[in-house]
């Protein structure tokens, strides 16, 4: 069974610090990796995606991918209280046809940024 694992947290960091969120996945055929932010009671919002090994930066966010280790992470620099949310890691499943369009989600990591 294809799985995506995240530390459920809560992860608590002070304002201005770097928050590091981690995710591992079991399907070696996975090609695309996503980070979504979900505020309580709201729907997931895409932060960024990555599909090549290495780092991808977008503003205060950096996604890191290591396919050999089946590991993807999200770094949030200069964390703000407004970053407090659950962060969902999602992995594109491998497969033919329609199954190639499915994502497997982790349960999410709750991040709290303290003022």
Partner 1 sequence: DAMVIQNPRYQVTQFGKPVTLSCSQTLNHNVMYWYQQKSSQAPKLLFHYYDKDFNNEADTPDNFQSRRPNTSFCFLDIRSPGLGDAAMYLCATSPRQGLARVQYFGPGTRLTVT
CB of 79 to partner 1, least distance (A): 22
CB of 52 to partner 1, least distance (A): 10
Comparing CB distances to partner 1, the nearer of 2 and 60 is 2
Cα separation values, 54 from 30, 81, 100, Å = 15, 28, 23
Comparing CB distances to partner 1, the nearer of 37 and 73 is 37
Comparing CB distances to partner 1, the nearer of 98 and 115 is 98
CB of 20 to partner 1, least distance (A): 20
Comparing CB distances to partner 1, the nearer of 18 and 46 is 46
Binding site for partner 1 (CB under 8 A): 4, 31-32, 34, 36, 41-46, 49, 51, 88, 90, 92, 97-103, 105-108
Cα separation values, 96 from 1, 69, 102, Å = 16, 24, 11
Task: Please answer whether residues 100 and 94 qualify as being in contact, where contact means their C-beta atoms are separated by less than 8 angstroms.
Answer: yes
Cα separation values, 98 from 44, 103, 114, 115, Å = 22, 11, 42, 45
């Amino acid at each position: 069974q294809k799985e995506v694992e995240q530390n459920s947290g809560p992860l608590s960091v002070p304002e201005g610090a770097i928050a590091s969120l981690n995710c591992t996945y079991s399907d070696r055929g996975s090609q695309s990796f996503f980070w979504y932010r979900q505020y309580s009671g709201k729907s997931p919002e895409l932060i960024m995606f990555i599909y090549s090994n290495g780092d991808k930066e977008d503003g205060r966010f950096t996604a890191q991918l290591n396919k050999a280790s089946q590991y993807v992470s999200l770094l949030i620099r200069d964390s703000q209280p407004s970053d407090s949310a659950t962060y969902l890691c999602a992995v594109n499943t491998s497969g033919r046809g329609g199954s190639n369009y499915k994502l497997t989600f982790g349960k999410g990591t709750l991040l709290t940024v303290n003022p």
